[in-house]
Amino acid sequence: MSSPTALPRTLINGKSCDSLSISDRGLAYGHGLFETIRLSQGRPVLWEQHMERLQKGCERLAIDVPAQLASSLMKDVTQLCGLEKEGVIKIIITAGSGGRGYAAPEVTNTQRIVSLFSLPVYPSDRSEGVKVISCQYQLPLNPRMAGMKHLNRLDQVLARAEWQGTTIAEGIVCDLSGKVVEGTMSNVFAVKEGVLLTPELSQAGVQGIMRDFVLENAAAMGLESREVSLGVDEFKDADELFLTNSVIGLWPITQWDDLCFDKGPETQIIQARINRLLTEGV
């Protein structure tokens, strides 16, 4: 197994490479998408779900990709990961180079980029609870782009610039109407009177793969779930709060601004289910 210091490693269109044309539309216009996938026990977790979202995103952004894209990406991941058991896989699909101007090139030259990174090192106690803040930055309403993980992450960059250090784990971002949407790198959930709540994302935000996993498995865990449109104060009125994404799994929220919360029983049930997925693949 290679040492962690050897990471990241990158393949572009299946070949070892670390550079891309400066005329690439992903760089020039953010014309592309990405997926961030947890590598656990040598396997990419929730691979099929990530590939489905990627394919749908390419269709929405009019990026022409071959029918065998998922198969090609799996070959890249297999080649890149080798004997690695744990890590983070990042996949980027761009619309390729097309000269100056917004018009898409007549000849398709989509770029396929796959990188392997070491798992981020977070404080070990984050699985027991984290502190979050309410961001001042507000997300624009854009139903055409909502849900996708497109390459333009300036909204998240600006929101994440509002704090420094590791005491605060995440910032919660609202849209222009003041409704809670997500964290800068995560989706947010609440439990209120035994019902699992999460923001609906038809106007803004990213439809996270781990978010979908939680919603799809809620009933099996004995939970009713709803997608809602609520403000910060309404979310803070919950009994339990937590964050999810494909890399961190689940972090309970034990402080939001000046309010403190317990790591409640429903959160513990969901966390155990996600941990089983990450360790056992089931």
Residue 56 annotated as catalytic: no
Helical ranges in 82-188 per DSSP H: 154-160
Measured distance CA(265)–CA(271) in Å, rounded: 10
* Token reading at 4: 């962690």
Residue type, 257: D
Measured distance CA(36)–CA(247) in Å, rounded: 8
Confidence of residue 231 (pLDDT cuts 50, 70, 90): very high
Count CB atoms within 10 A of the CB of residue 153. 16
DSSP-derived pairing of the beta strands 249-256 and 130-139: parallel
Residue-wise DSSP of 149-172: -BS--HHHHHHHTT--SSSEEEEE
Nearest C-alpha neighbor of 84 from the set 48, 43, 113, 112:
43
pLDDT tops 60 at residue 7 = no
Confidence of residue 3 (pLDDT cuts 50, 70, 90): very low
Q: What is the pTM of this model?
A: 0.92
Catalytic residue among 10, 35, 36, 170: 36
- Please report, for residues 11, 31, 63, 148, 153, the alpha-carbon distance to residue 92 in angstroms, rounded to integers and kept in the order given: 11, 11, 12, 13, 13
Instruction: Specify the pLDDT at position 17.
Output: 87
Do residues 179 and 169 touch, judged by C-beta distance below 8 A?
A: no
Residue 227 annotated as catalytic: no
Instruction: Specify the pLDDT at position 67.
Output: 87
Confidence of residue 4 (pLDDT cuts 50, 70, 90): very low
Catalytic residue among 10, 84, 94, 149: 149
Do residues 1 and 210 touch, judged by C-beta distance below 8 A?
A: no
- Please report, for residues 51, 53, 63, 91, 230, the alpha-carbon distance to residue 25 in angstroms, rounded to integers and kept in the order given: 21, 20, 11, 16, 36
Residue 244 annotated as catalytic: no
Segment 75-131, tens digit of pLDDT: 999 999 987 899 999 999 999 997 788 888 777 789 999 999 999 999 889 999 999
Instruction: Specify the pLDDT at position 6.
Output: 55
Q: pLDDT exceeding 90 applies to what percent of the chain? A: 85
Q: pLDDT exceeding 70 applies to what percent of the chain? A: 96
Segment 150-170, tens digit of pLDDT: 999 999 999 999 999 999 999
Do residues 261 and 241 touch, judged by C-beta distance below 8 A?
A: yes
Instruction: Specify the pLDDT at position 2.
Output: 39
Query: From start to end of the chain, where are the E strands?
Result: 9-12, 15-16, 32-40, 43-44, 87-94, 111-117, 130-139, 168-175, 180-183, 187-192, 195-199, 224-228, 240-245, 249-256, 259-260
Instruction: Specify the pLDDT at position 100.
Output: 81
- Please report, for residues 58, 101, 214, the alpha-carbon distance to residue 32 in angstroms, rounded to integers and kept in the order given: 8, 16, 27
Catalytic residue among 84, 170, 182, 266: 182
Q: What is the mean pLDDT of the chain?
A: 93
Q: Classify burial at 204, counting beta carbons within 10 Å of its beta carbon; exposed 0-12, middle 13-18, buried 19 or more.
A: buried
Segment 243-280, tens digit of pLDDT: 999 999 999 999 999 999 999 999 999 999 999 999 88
Segment 63-86, tens digit of pLDDT: 999 889 999 999 999 999 987 899
Count CB atoms within 10 A of the CB of residue 109. 15
What residue ranges define each of the domains in the chain, with the CATH number in brackets? 4-117 (3.30.470.10), 124-280 (3.20.10.10)
